[in-house]
Structure 1
């Protein structure tokens, strides 16, 4: 039974999360690793300046590694209550599987009753919205079942769109064919990408021939999805600098009442594939579901 004001569970996430200071996102994180050739370090061990400098150098191009089961087991060992893990989409990473394997390493705390794993079916800012939902349920004294229900509501309402200035980093990382990347480069195409809710994988929903056009295309996807004039909550994302994300926010402010907005940098694990100039937005209509009277 819920006991208002008394936490019933702990929440953890993984390195797919881009956290917002203004949301309830301060949770322990199972980190991804970044590999530059034979050098492997946790993503948090890189300063943004060092990471982007080495990413631009491109030799070698970095790769990423999901959290290990042992990493999740260590988080479980430190937990004092039943634990809820909110992972990056299983369509994009094996992080969820690693969390499941941690049950064998921590059999008592890793039981189904003590450890619940939730596939966010998304990442980044949209994952942050779901973590906020889980932590809001926790703060209100609810149990994990309520947190999962609130996360599912938020998932249904939230859309994530992002664009990148160049296909070069996707090509380097093997996430796009060389011919496709070369053609895109010749045409100066900027894709607009979302996460398919059915598969949890990336899908292309638009393209533009200029960076300004790409920012407009991202904003237009939001308005097309929710309707002009709909009040929105907006989690903006940026690579090295926030200027382009601010431009997307200004476009959307001209079309929607903005109930909340925040900015977060894309973390290095995601920037490996998107490059320094990524811009994105997680958008959802109206108030948070639990705030509606």
Structure 2
């Protein structure tokens, strides 16, 4: 089918090989003191080395309007309208840059959507949009699929230490709900109202945190509900396997994929992290 629109997203995406996630990306950047890397210029392994050895904690920078304009041009192919899906506006100003990019590419009709999430949950929404495009569906159909996918998908993750969220200034409500007890392992999600991180559970160990993430999934969807799961891992791939096993003990798995957390997001979680985007049953267009 001939696509009627193109799809672009930003560096909040953790892409999955088994999903339609191969869309143009407006990249974030990482800044180590005076040295700046675009997110596709540093590997996860290089990031972990820098985190261990660099005296300055890195900061991240959102895409520029020019970065967004370039991604939109590639998505459009010069002809098509573009659906631009951004990381949550409660976590980044990327959506503002996407809006400002309209002035850079005034010839392109661009629809900007705040996914109100990130990472694997953003990947699910990108998959919905890109699938609609591949099937020759209208932009209106794609927006409906994205909206419905967003409504049924949850993202939960845990981290070994809160230190990196603290350094990056993103600890906010997570720290408040933990009472500042930094030795506890939080279960974090993105609040649908604010688009920012919030804590929904806790554990006394990292292994317990993995179990707590699985328990949160079951609490949300009900034991025995078939699920699609996009698993995420930081420096230890086996963490994703452990989380999948914990979820499989309670749910049939319709689809599962795993992806490493990208370097820009990993700066805020720290190297050791594990998470999941979960949604019930088949994709909305398969029902």
TM-score band, normalised by shorter chain? over 0.9
Deviations 1:115-138 (A, max 9, x none): 111110100000000000001111
The residue that corresponds to 1:285 in the other structure is: 280
Matches within 5 A, 1:1-293: 5-78=1-74, 79-80=76-77, 81-109=80-108, 114-176=109-171, 183-185=180-182, 188-292=183-287
Deviations 1:226-263 (A, max 9, x none): 00000000000000121111101001111100000000
Matches of 1:74 and 1:98, distance apart in 2: 12
Which runs of no fewer than 5 residues in structure 1 stay unpaired?
Answer: none
Matches of 2:191 and 2:201, distance apart in 1: 14
Matches of 1:32 and 1:274, distance apart in 2: 16
Which runs of no fewer than 5 residues in structure 2 stay unpaired?
Answer: none
Matches of 1:60 and 1:273, distance apart in 2: 14
Cα offset for 1:75?
2.5
Matches of 1:11 and 1:217, distance apart in 2: 35
Matches of 2:208 and 2:54, distance apart in 1: 27
Query: Is the Cα–Cα contact under 8 Å of residues 230 and 277 in structure 2 kept in the other structure?
Result: yes
Matches of 2:87 and 2:211, distance apart in 1: 27
Query: Is the Cα–Cα contact under 8 Å of residues 150 and 289 in structure 1 kept in the other structure?
Result: yes
Query: Is the Cα–Cα contact under 8 Å of residues 37 and 60 in structure 1 kept in the other structure?
Result: yes
Query: Is the Cα–Cα contact under 8 Å of residues 7 and 140 in structure 1 kept in the other structure?
Result: yes
Cα offset for 1:183?
4.6
- In the TM superposition, structure 1's runs of 4+ consecutive aligned residues that sit over 3 Å from their partners are 179-183
Matches of 1:58 and 1:206, distance apart in 2: 32
Query: Is the Cα–Cα contact under 8 Å of residues 167 and 184 in structure 1 kept in the other structure?
Result: no
Query: Is the Cα–Cα contact under 8 Å of residues 233 and 283 in structure 1 kept in the other structure?
Result: yes
Q: How many residues align?
A: 281
Matches of 1:140 and 1:213, distance apart in 2: 42
Matches of 1:22 and 1:46, distance apart in 2: 23
Aligned-partner SS, 1:184: coil
Q: TM-score, normalised on structure 2?
A: 0.94
